[in-house]
Amino acid sequence: MGVVVIVAYRPKPGREADLLALVRSHVPALRRLDLVTNRPAQAMRARDGSILELFEWADGALDVAHGHPEVLSLWERFAAVCDYVPLRDLGETGDLFAQFEPLAP
């Protein structure tokens, strides 16, 4: 059984396009490494411009990812273009039905 995660990225100034490109390549790269399931991933935008990503890690894959050079390199690229944001910091999470703008794959 996998683990579904939701992560929020706040783009650094002037880096939104770079972040969007990374998000679009993130799950396909993890899938190529057999680290995520075939469950469709979702990407969306919050009102404040943060980008959210929802996907499912394969069973045990998160531990593998933390030691995989290709994944670590990918995460370094994320760190260069965004800050990770706790979901509670997004205004939408205070709504009973949090709504986000869907992003094209």
Stated pTM of the model? 0.92
Query: Taking a C-beta distance cutoff of 8 angstroms, is the pair 55, 30 a contact?
Result: yes
Residue 78 has pLDDT above 90, yes or no: yes
One DSSP character per residue, 15-39 reads -HHHHHHHHHHHHHHHHHTT-B-SS
The count of residues in the chain is 105
Given pLDDT bands bounded at 50, 70 and 90, which one contains residue 1? Answer: confident
What is the rounded CA–CA span in Å between residue 3 and residue 23? Answer: 18
> pLDDT tens digits for 27-62?
999 999 999 999 999 999 999 999 999 999 999 999
Averaged pLDDT, 52-73: 96
Write down the H helix ranges in 1-105. Answer: 16-32, 61-65, 69-81
Looking at the structure, give the CATH architecture of the domain made up of residues 3-102. Answer: 2-Layer Sandwich (3.30)
